Amino acid sequence: MNRLVRIALLGSILLSACDDEKPGDAPASASAAAPASAAAPASASASAPASAPVVLPERPDDFALVEPATPTCPPDMVRVNKSYCVDRYEASLVDAETGQDLSPYYVPARKQALSIQKLWEQERLAVGPVEARTIELPPLPPWQSQRNFEPKAVSKKSRIPQGYLTGPLAALACKNAGKRLCSLAEWQTACRGEDDRDFPYGDTYEPGKCNIFREAHPAGLLHGNPSIGHSDPRLNTVKAGDKPLLRRTGETRACVSRWEGDAIADMVGNIDEWIDDPEGTFVGGFYARSKKDGCASMVRAHPFDYFDYSTGVRCCKDL
């Protein structure tokens, strides 16, 4: 009997031990360990500072059209067709070395000027009406008669424009200013303005708008004959009544060729202007020329080394 009781008790104990170990207990323990180890990286990540967003620099659009900067002209010049510059005014001359003003009434070369001065000191007493013979020559500055020099063109308002210029001297004056003679096409384009007109002010000749077709010829008044004595230094000092035949630069306000809101003065009339033609061409007309061809005015009857009181210059420059 006692033996049976001990066997029964032992079986109860064994059954009780089996009931305490459930089938899912071992996997649950492993599973519980896994989250613990997985939490470690999360903790490390949380402790690191957050990185700032990366901002890329802006880049220009590779296909955008970028307008190049348009070159401008010097203040004494006007830009034409956005491709070249033209002197705002007819040239007056200075000594390229010192900047001293040259007389606008003599050829700007020392020996020639002295020769002409000597000639007309005598001729003026023998040629023309009696009252004209009393008119003295304009002075030649002493320094201009004492040393050699080279002319330099300047483009300034209210100056007496230079006459008595040969083509080579005109080219030299422009070169010494860092400029050059205009071509015929450049000169005529500039004269006609943005609106491409026959005259600076329009398509029809209007008396008095430009200083041309004046009421008198200076050689007629001084010499009694408009076709002689064209080297006389007095010619561009002559007046018709009380008004000078040759005007100061920019004085004829209606005679302007307009470009981009700017203006070029006196391209028709006042004084002829040499252009870049080794055969000899000057354009624009001068105050006493009795023609009405405006910007088409042109003289090709003289060689490039010719000069008289009516021949001047206006320079051009590349942009």
Q: Residue 70: what pLDDT?
A: 82
Domain ranges of the chain: 77-318
CA 292 to chain CA mean position, Å? 30
Query: Domain 77-318 is in which class?
Result: alpha beta
d(CA 245, CA 204): 23
| Number of C-beta neighbours around residue 260 at 10 A | 11
Quick check: 272 and 280 in contact, CB under 8 A? Answer: no
Residue pLDDT tens, the chain, 319 long: 444 444 444 444 444 444 444 444 444 443 434 444 444 444 444 444 556 666 656 665 656 666 677 899 999 999 999 999 999 999 999 999 999 999 999 999 999 999 999 999 999 999 999 999 999 999 999 999 999 999 999 999 999 999 999 999 999 999 999 999 999 999 999 999 999 999 999 999 999 999 999 999 999 999 999 999 999 999 999 999 999 999 999 999 999 999 999 999 999 999 999 999 999 999 999 999 999 999 999 999 999 999 999 999 999 999 9
Q: What is the greatest pairwise CA distance in the chain?
A: 185
For residue 165, the model assigns a pLDDT of 99
Q: What is the pLDDT of residue 69?
A: 77
Contact call for residues 118 and 176 (beta carbons, < 8 A): no
pLDDT of residue 64: 63
Where would I find the beta strands (DSSP E) of the chain? Answer: 77-80, 84-87, 92-95, 151-154, 180-181, 239-240, 243-244, 256-259, 262-265, 272-274, 282-283, 298-299, 311-313, 315-318
